[in-house]
Copies of this chain bind each other. A is one copy, B any other.
Amino acid sequence: MRVYTAKGGGFCFGVKRAIDIAYKVAGKYKGGVYTLGPIIHNPQVIEELKSMGVMPVEDIRSLKGKDVGAVIIRTHGVTRQAMKKLTDSGYTIIDATCPYVKKAQYYAKLLKDEGYQVVILGSREHPEVKGLMSYAGRGAVVVRDATELPPLKKRVGVVVQTTRHVEALKDVLCAIAGQIKELKVYNTLCSSTTERLKETEELARKVDVMVIVGGKNSANTTQLAKLCRSLSVPTHHIETALDLRESWFSGAKRAAISAGASTPERLIKEVERKIKGYRRKVS
């Protein structure tokens, strides 16, 4: 069995930057260091950071009564209102929002200020999208895909959750074209997402089984698994090598591994090593 590993899997620029920041500040403050929500969507990394004293809390209210040294804003960013509350409360803020997410927030606000009805392509439940919504104004709508588009106003502005698939953007623009007079689009998809999806699709097309490594709560990792399944390749989304089952590979001639933007290199390597071990036993 041949085993391929996607080059574009693992920490993207924004995640790497946020993790670096967290490691750097861990233990440097008199009080505790807290992140609002998990800093990235990977449980293994969160556990490691916890052991270094960087603790996730659910929201700002959870900070009450705690000895707060600093508050880290995670890669996905926060809402405008949360940012104001944090500032007003006098906490030391360390902003680890991905710069591409910051840009998307900026464009959402710009479109609103220019009088466009803002359409956000993404998942309403995702923290990045919650942040974008807070900048996009009252008339904004969030759609997961073109089928969810409501009737729109005549001047529409579009921003995209940075980790979505470009195909969804194409579908949405196509669907919007018929009903508007003016359209402004900021393609805020980050290039590492686009490339990772592309590379993963290419791998999925040539192998018998796909393994996707990353947090079950990671939207971009889940999206990779969904893409592979849509190509009818047997696909397994796992968090660590412990989740692997040898039986998945029985009879397979080619297998491939891809991973989300929040998956540490170490976890990918462990998965790769274990699968290559199966290969030796098989051959």
Residue A57 CB within 8 A of the other chain:
no
How far is B170's CA from A173's CA once the two chains are assembled, in angstroms?
A: 7
Chain B nearest CB from A50 CB (Å) reads 38
A186's contact among B166, B170, B176, B182, by CB below 8 Å, is which?
B182
The contact of A187 among B175, B183, B186, by CB within 8 Å, is B183
Kindly state the separation between the CA atoms of A176 and B170 in the bound complex, as whole angstroms: 8
Question: In this assembly, does A52 line the interface, its C-beta being within 8 Å of a C-beta of chain B?
Answer: no
Q: Given contact pairs A170-B178, A182-B184, enumerate 20 new A-B contacts (beta carbons under 8 Å).
A: A166-B177, A166-B178, A169-B177, A170-B177, A171-B174, A173-B173, A173-B174, A173-B176, A173-B177, A177-B185, A177-B187, A180-B185, A180-B187, A181-B187, A182-B185, A182-B187, A183-B184, A183-B185, A183-B187, A184-B185
Interface size class of A (residues with CB under 8 A): 10 to 19
Measured in the bound complex, the distance between the Cα atoms of B166 and A170 in whole Å is 16
List the interface of chain A (C-beta within 8 A of B).
Answer: 166, 169-171, 173-178, 180-187
Total copies of this chain within the assembly? 2
Contacts of A182 in B (CB 8 A): 184-187
Q: Which 7 A-B pairs have the closest CB atoms?
A: A183-B185, A173-B173, A174-B174, A170-B177, A170-B174, A184-B184, A173-B177
**Nearest-CB distance from A7 to chain B (Å)?**
21
Tell me the nearest residue of chain B to A168, going by C-beta. Answer: B177
- Of chain B, the residue at the smallest CB distance from A186 is B182
Which residues of chain B come closer than 8 Å to A181, judged between CB atoms? Answer: 186-187
Q: Which residue of B lies closest to A184 (CB)?
A: B184
Closest CB of chain B to A14's CB: distance in Å? 17
A187 to B180, CA, bound (A): 7
